[in-house]
Amino acid sequence: MDYFNAVEQWLIAHPTWVFIAIGLSAFIESLAIIGIVIPGVAILFAVAAVAGGIGLAIEFCLLAACLGAISGDVLSYYLGHHLGPHLKQRWPISHYPKAIQNGEIYFNKYGSISIMIGRFIGPLRPVLPMIAGMLKMPAPRFISFNVLSSLIWAPVYILPGYLSGAARHILWPKNSLMIFSALSITLTLVILVTHFTLKKFYQSGHQDNLITVQYLRTKAFFVLSLAGFFFITLIQYTDVVRWFNENLLFSILTLREELPTLYSHILNQITMLGDQTYLIVMFSCATVYLLVLNYKPQAMFLACNGLLVWLCSLGLKETFAVARPEWFAGRASSLAFPSGHTSGSLVLFASLGLILCFNQRLSLARPIWFACMAIAVLVGFSRLALGVHWFADILGGFTLGASIIYFSLTRRDVINWKMLGNVDSKRLVLGLLLLTLVYQFAFKADSFALYSL
C-alpha cells in the first residue's frame, strides 16, 4: 500500500507524464496496423483511470487524447500516401491482408465519412487513414474529418476510464452494488429476450415478407423503448439514482465554473436546437413544405410526431412533477422529467432523417442519418452539461423520443412513401438550416443569459 501511495504522490507531482502516456496510447491506438496488435483501448482506459484517480484536469486529458489520435492518423495517412499500394507488400502490413481488404471496401463504399465512422470501429480504425492515403484522398479533406472525429472520439474513450478512476474517492451508498447488479441483469435479459424473439421470427419462415419483418421488428423496438422509459421512471425515485444525480450535477457545475466562457457559449448554441419555440417553427415549416410538394404521408408523419412529443412531454412533466436542479429552478418555465429538449430534438431530427433517407442509396442515407442522430445526442448532452437537468431526465427524454418514433413507424402508411419517390432533400435542408441560423442569431443573447451561472 505504501508503494502505491508513493507512486500516486509521484504522479501528482509529475502530471506531465500521465498526459504523455494518454497521448502516446491514443497515438498507438490510431497508428496503422499497430493499433490492431496492441490493445490500445485497454491501455487508454487504464491510463485515463490513473488520471481520474489523481484528479488531473479532464480537459488536458481530452486534449492529449485528441492530439495523439490526430497524430497517429496523420502519420498513417502519409505512409499510405507516399508509399502507395506497395505498402501492402511490406512488413508488418503484409501479415494483415484481410484487414486491408475490409478497409478498402469500407472506404470505397462510404468515402470521406468512413474516416469519422471508422474511428469507432475497432478493426477498421488503424487501417482507414492509411488506405485514405493510398487512394489519394485530398489531405485537407482527410485532416478535416480526422480532427472532427477525434474531438468526438476522445470523450467516448477517455471519460469511462477517467470517471472510473475518480469513483474510487466517492463514498458509495451501501446498496449501490445490489442495484447496479440488478440494472445490469435486467438490461441483459431485455436484450437477450429481444434478440431471441426476433431470431425465432426470422426462422419461422416469414423472411420472404420483408415488409412484415420490418413492421414487427419496429414494434419490438417500440416496446423496448417504452419499457426503457417506464424503467427509468421507476428507478429515478430510488436513493441511489437521486444520489447519483446530485453528485453528477455537483461535478458538472464545478467543472462549468472552471472552464472558459467559450464552452458555455457552445453548449448554449447546441441546446437552442431543442428549444420549444425552435421545435414548433421547424416542425411547422417542414410540414408546410412537404404539403406544398404533395408529400402528404411524410407531412402527416412529421406533424403527428411533433404534436405527440409535445403532448407527451407536457403531460408527463406535470404527472411526475420532478423539480429542476435548485440553481435553475427559479428560471425554468417547466418541470424536469422527462427532458423536453431531449425528446423533442430526437423526434424532430429522427423524423427529418427518416424522411430524407427513405428510398435513398445507402452511401447517402448513412451520413444523413448519422448527422441527424448526432445533433439529437448533442442536444441531450448539452442539457446535462449545462446542469439544467438531472441525468435521469436526459435518459427519460431519449427513451420517450425513441418510443414516439418507433410508434409512428408502426403505422402501415409509412411503407407507401416509396410510391412517392424521394423528397427534394437539398431545398428542405437549406431552408431548415436558414431558419436555424436566424433563430440562433435572434435568441442567442436571451438563451445565454438564461443558462449562465
Q: How does pLDDT run across 93-134, given as a tens digit for each residue?
A: 666 667 777 777 777 777 777 777 777 776 667 778 888 888
Angle at 91 between CA 89 and CA 93, to 5 degrees: 70
Lowest mean pLDDT, pick from 89-93, 223-227, 334-338, 364-368: 89-93
pLDDT at 246 over 80: yes
Mean pLDDT of 247-258: 81
- Measured distance CA(83)–CA(153) in Å, rounded: 28
- Measured distance CA(72)–CA(74) in Å, rounded: 6
Q: How many residues does the chain have?
A: 453
End-to-end CA distance of the chain: 41
How many CA atoms within 13 Å lie on the side-chain side of 290? 27
Q: How far is CA 335 from CA 269, 307, 315, 377, 407, in A?
A: 22, 19, 11, 21, 25
Q: Pick the closest to residue 403 from 224, 232, 189, 186 (CA basis).
A: 224
Q: Give the global pTM.
A: 0.57
pLDDT band at 67 (very low <50, low <70, confident <90, very high): very high
Q: At what angle do helices 391-409 and 296-320 cross, to 10 degrees?
A: 150
Instruction: Look up residue 305 and give its three cell numbers.
Output: 410526431
Read off the pLDDT of residues 49-63 as tens digits, 9 standing for 90 and up: 888 877 787 888 889
Q: Pick the closest to residue 255 from 49, 450, 57, 22 (CA basis).
A: 57
- Measured distance CA(107)–CA(266) in Å, rounded: 32
Mean pLDDT of 371-387: 87
Computed over every residue of the chain, the mean pLDDT equals 76
Instruction: State what percent of residues in the chain have pLDDT above 90.
Output: 2
Q: For residues 286 and 302, is the Cβ–Cβ distance under 8 A?
A: yes
Phi/psi at 450 (nearest 5 deg)?
-65, -40
pLDDT top residue among 120 and 298: 298
Mean pLDDT of 136-140: 83
- Measured distance CA(75)–CA(28) in Å, rounded: 11
Express the helix, strand and coil content of the chain in percent, nearest 5 each.
80, 0, 20
Residue 1 confidence (pLDDT): 44
Angle at 183 between CA 177 and CA 185, to 5 degrees: 100
Asked if the peptide bond before residue 92 counts as cis, ω within 30 degrees of 0, the response is yes
Mean pLDDT of 1-7: 51
Mean pLDDT of 23-40: 75
Helix (H, G, I), strand (E, B) or coil at 31: coil
Q: Pick the closest to residue 341 from 284, 269, 271, 439 (CA basis).
A: 271
- Measured distance CA(412)–CA(406) in Å, rounded: 12
Instruction: Look up residue 101 and give its three cell numbers.
Output: 481488404
* Residue the block writes with cell 502516446: 24
Tell me the three-class secondary structure of 290-307, residue by residue. HHHCCCHHHHHHHHHHHH
Residue 375 confidence (pLDDT): 87
